[in-house]
Structure 1
Amino acid sequence: MTSVGNAGTLSGTKPGLLERERIIATAGFNRWLVPPAALCIHLCIGMAYGFSVFWLPLSQAITTPASKEVCDGMSLATELFTTTCNWKVASLGWMYTLFFVLLGVSAAIWGGWLERVGPRKAGFVSAMCWCGGLVLGSIGVYTHQLWLLWIGSGVIGGIGLGLGYISPVSTLVKWFPDRRGMATGMAIMGFGGGAMIGSPLANLLMNYFKTPTDVGVWQTFLAMGVIYFVFMTIGAFSYRITPPNWKPEGWTPPATANAMITTGHVHLDNAHKTKQFWLIWGVLCLNVSAGIGVIGMASPMLQEIFAGKLIGAPDLSFSQLSAAQKTTIAGIAAGFAGLISLFNIAGRFFWASLSDKIGRKNTYYTFFILGIIMYALVPTFAAMGSKVLFVAAFAVILSMYGGGFATIPAYLADIFGTQFVGAIHGRLLTAWATAGIVGPVVVNYIREFQIAAGVPRAQVYDFTMYILAGMLVLGLICNMLVRPLAPHWFMKPEEVAALQAKGAAAASASGGSYGIGKGGFDGSAIAFWAFVGIPLCWGVWLTLQSAVRIFQ
């Protein structure tokens, strides 16, 4: 990797290593070095999606014969502090809720701070929190204290997730005004891809560290904490921000003005006062609620709906399968979960890039209309017994789930301008935190209600699919109501100039001649992309190998 020189001095004092003024790009910088810097961080924090790989080993962490029983009948409050029995998988699963609630809350609270201090400091603090949380979590596993695992990986790690997730947004939007959607899509696809790398890596490490009396989880936490800290620090220190009012060489905004893309800037303090903010909040929340509920139940859904059909015994329902057969189809269902995760990642880049061509509002129209159709057809595909159509429907659904995450920063930049887009995006992520509770609750509780009512396992998800389609109808209405902001919401030019003055002074200290073009894939860019691309390709290859089993 090649880094540019310092942004110069300001008032004769050299800015600190983590300061925003230190990372203003100067002559010769290639903007294509910024997306892989973001990927270094997102591929690491994206392991949050893959944490379920630890649940089963952790539920068997106490290996002595007299202490193998699970904490059945014990209250969660007692289980948090017990050292005498193994934790329930359901108790460990609360980590997911902590991850995504804390992600949304921390992004909302510290988004404004991020805009002031810049992406390098925010990315480094994210690395400290995420990796420090893993270290603290490893101590919790070693001492068998569930509360310490929750606080370490769940709370502190969740804060790291929020800061790391939004750290590149504003920077990428400003580096790629000609391709906002593609730029944010490249980075945010890394969050979806983190589990594809992290899950098999965790399995390899647990198999390496485990012994007859130790499942190897605490050592794996420590090792991954160190590995991730190196990657995330490289990413944070590779961030560079644009000089004020910079534009790519040879690029001018389109001559035909698009009413849905503003040239003004809304202050962070005013964005949430507009109805547009809350309409887009609803758009994201409803799109994510539908998708995240499916992700959480992908494996049992395939097993219960297709059961014996997955192993060449089409007449066997799920309840008729033997324990060995259930183990076999569980492995096949894991391939299904991996495959839809792959589409989740690909969709982040594909749909966000497409939004540069057709517009952000039209992209969300596509998500909702196509999503409604797919959810409504899933029960029919299941009744037909068609694995191909069933898997294809969820592949499309999950691609749009991921695409929604990647498109939303560009949507916000279009409506509110780029000056505070990172912080506004941070506040909008409270929609994700809300969806992380609503989606799984809707899917899980309707499933339990259907089973209690005696509905066959193969049909317990039918009503759920119609409910999720209804949620997308509401999202479609929210998107339809989004309009350009009234002029009074935008800051005056002198207010914007005052906010940018500090950066302009630091940039002019380096000579004031930026000389930064569009860049391209020179040697340093190719090397940096290979650094993040090779692990990602490894994860994709393993996922495809697992997914093939669905159709065998």
Structure 2
Amino acid sequence: MLAVLDRERTVAGPGFNRWLVPPAALAVHLSIGQVYAFSVFNSPLETRFGVEATPVAVIFSIAIVMLGLSAAFGGTWVERNGPRKAMALSATCWSLGFLVAAVGISSGQLWLVYLGYGFLGGIGLGIGYISPVSTLIKWFPDRPGLATGLAIMGFGGGALVASPLSNRLLGVFAENPEDALVPVFLVLGVTYAVLMSLGAYFVRVPAPDWRPEGWTPPAASETSAMRTTANVSATNAIRTPQFYLLWVVLFCNVTAGIGILAQASPMIQSFFGDSVGAAEAAGFVGLLSLANMAGRIVWSSTSDVIGRKNTYIMYLGVGAVLYLLVTLFGTLSLPVFVLLTVVILSFYGGGFATIPAYLKDMFGGYQVGAIHGRLLTAWSAAGIAGPIIVSSIIDLQTRRGAEGADLYTLSLSIMVGVLVVGFVANLLVRPVSSRFHEPSTAAEPALAGER
């Protein structure tokens, strides 16, 4: 029965429409994108367990850390076994995480929620996040930025579906949200299991000799210096300076984005006081989620035209200027503040969607999924650094008697510096030395998916 999950069983036949693959990937990413809506459960969980905010916030942190670690250590396994088996594993871990967490909530054992949603769910997040990447790049060698943007867009948009759905379910199952947590977690676990299983069923990998109709791979003389026609293994990739420069680039871009995302609601209320109520703040958070999602498809597609390095020059260079404008002039106009932060969050989302294509440009398509997985440790590090930087500085400024926008001035200024560091790291990226390249006879089978 499990043989249906084997890579060999997912090879597409003649005439298969490659545009059927992005929806399969989207089904997985929309499901695991629920993690961005976990804050919906914060208050009910705090009430249910009788704890403060920090013990509950740890659940989300564990999930993000496990996302990076499982992506890093599982990347090679995903490359070897193919997207269907990886998506099935992701669905199992992600859904099981909800079920174990439901048992923990029912029994009053917070550590089971850590184990379920945090540890098991985090593994599902990491494997599910990287599972379609190399497959989509193989299906869309002519437009890798568009391909990865189509799937990764779902991760950014998952919260747009999960947040209102979770709120609605909390009101349906019980009068008090804390009493509805168990059935809500059970329903979400089963729903995501079905949706992700459908994605796994419909995903396909291209045949070894397949290529888009009318497209021929460009010769080395026709490609830019920043797009290699050679291939680098995951083992060799982490020996190159390019890998660590791109790690810094992703870390800085994500840290700056999370700096706003993690404090969006209190930030806009601090900047504009009584003129922004709870409803307006919630609308602002939703708008940032839309920007995060839209940036993943718009900017990653743009990178196919202007190049990946130039796109990150925009993310980091223009982003630093926008952060500086928010710091200096953010209190002058609510529309300007919203516009600036929306663009910043679109760069945040775009950075996630563009990095797989950047890696493909640097290291080839041989083991790009495994390389991408290892690079996502930057996300884990940024997921811890960004919120800590902002929240600790807010606490410090509060103790000093600051209020309003002054609570955020120092942390926003630090984020400008973080983006400048990433900007410099991106400028230093150069083509990978030929000594790291795989022999062409060894690389071709893996490119075709025969491992």
Fold in common (TM above 0.5) = yes
Aligned match for 2:329, one of 374, 381, 393: 381
* 1:34 and 2:14 matched: no
Read off the aligned partner of 1:404 and give its amino acid letter. Answer: G
1:352 is matched with: 300
1:215 deviation in Å? Answer: 2.3
Is this contact kept in 2: 1:111–1:424, CA < 8 A?
yes
1:341 is matched with: 289
**CA offsets, 1:266-303, max 9 Å, x none?**
01111100000000000000110111121111011111
Q: Greater helix share, 1 or 2?
A: 2
TM-score by length of 2: 0.97
1:420 is matched with: 367
2:69 is matched with: 105
CA distance in structure 1 between the partners assigned to 2:304 and 2:231 by the alignment = 20
CA distance in structure 2 between the partners assigned to 1:463 and 1:333 by the alignment = 22
2:250 is matched with: 284
Aligned match for 1:402, one of 325, 346, 349: 349
1:390 is matched with: 337
Q: 1:44 to 1:502 in 2, by over 3 A?
A: closer
The gaps in structure 2 that reach 5 residues or longer are: none
* 1:253 and 2:201 matched: no
Read off the aligned partner of 2:182 and give its amino acid letter. Answer: W
1:194 is matched with: 158
**CA offsets, 1:324-352, max 9 Å, x none?**
xxxxx223211111111110000000000
CA distance in structure 2 between the partners assigned to 1:356 and 1:413 by the alignment = 12
CA distance in structure 2 between the partners assigned to 1:497 and 1:169 by the alignment = 18
1:547 is matched with: none
CA distance in structure 2 between the partners assigned to 1:497 and 1:462 by the alignment = 52
CA distance in structure 2 between the partners assigned to 1:18 and 1:164 by the alignment = 15
Is this contact kept in 1: 2:44–2:178, CA < 8 A?
no
Count of aligned pairs between the two proteins:
449
**CA offsets, 1:386-431, max 9 Å, x none?**
1000010000000000000000000000000001000000000000
Which SS does the other structure have where 1:279 is aligned? helix
- Which stretch of the first structure deviates more once superposed, 447-456 or 133-142? 447-456
Is this contact kept in 1: 2:232–2:436, CA < 8 A?
yes
* 1:303 and 2:239 matched: no
The gaps in structure 1 that reach 5 residues or longer are: 1-13, 62-84, 311-328, 505-552
Q: 1:435 to 1:24 in 2, by over 3 A?
A: same
CA distance in structure 2 between the partners assigned to 1:423 and 1:502 by the alignment = 13
1:309 deviation in Å? Answer: 2.3
Is this contact kept in 2: 1:141–1:218, CA < 8 A?
yes
2:386 is matched with: 439
Is this contact kept in 2: 1:451–1:457, CA < 8 A?
no
1:156 is matched with: 120
1:181 deviation in Å? Answer: 0.2
* 1:179 and 2:143 matched: yes
CA distance in structure 1 between the partners assigned to 2:108 and 2:2 by the alignment = 44
Is this contact kept in 2: 1:41–1:123, CA < 8 A?
yes
CA distance in structure 1 between the partners assigned to 2:177 and 2:419 by the alignment = 49
CA distance in structure 1 between the partners assigned to 2:69 and 2:311 by the alignment = 27
- Which stretch of the first structure deviates more once superposed, 226-235 or 213-222? 213-222
1:164 deviation in Å? Answer: 0.2
**CA offsets, 1:114-142, max 9 Å, x none?**
00100000000000000000011011111
Output aligned runs, 1:67-78, within 5 Å: none
- Larger Rg: 1 or 2? 1
- Which stretch of the first structure deviates more once superposed, 261-270 or 425-434? 261-270
CA distance in structure 2 between the partners assigned to 1:441 and 1:502 by the alignment = 41
**CA offsets, 1:65-108, max 9 Å, x none?**
xxxxxxxxxxxxxxxxxxxx512222111122111110000000
Read off the aligned partner of 1:195 and give its amino acid letter. Answer: A
Query: What's the % identity of the aligned pairs?
Result: 50
Read off the aligned partner of 2:302 and give its amino acid letter. Answer: L
* 1:17 and 2:4 matched: yes
CA RMSD of aligned residues (A): 1.6
1:211 deviation in Å? Answer: 4.0
Is this contact kept in 2: 1:189–1:345, CA < 8 A?
yes
1:114 is matched with: 78
Output aligned runs, 1:307-346, within 5 Å: 307-310=273-276, 329-346=277-294
* 1:169 and 2:133 matched: yes
TM-score by length of 1: 0.79
Aligned match for 1:267, one of 230, 233, 239: 233
CA distance in structure 1 between the partners assigned to 2:387 and 2:373 by the alignment = 22
CA distance in structure 1 between the partners assigned to 2:2 and 2:71 by the alignment = 26
Q: 1:502 to 1:376 in 2, by over 3 A?
A: closer
CA distance in structure 2 between the partners assigned to 1:181 and 1:225 by the alignment = 31
CA distance in structure 2 between the partners assigned to 1:370 and 1:502 by the alignment = 38
Aligned match for 2:400, one of 453, 470, 486: 453
Read off the aligned partner of 2:78 and give its amino acid letter. Answer: L
1:245 deviation in Å? Answer: 4.5
1:86 is matched with: 50
1:212 deviation in Å? Answer: 5.9
CA distance in structure 2 between the partners assigned to 1:230 and 1:166 by the alignment = 19
CA distance in structure 2 between the partners assigned to 1:212 and 1:203 by the alignment = 12
**CA offsets, 1:234-266, max 9 Å, x none?**
001111111224320101234632111111110
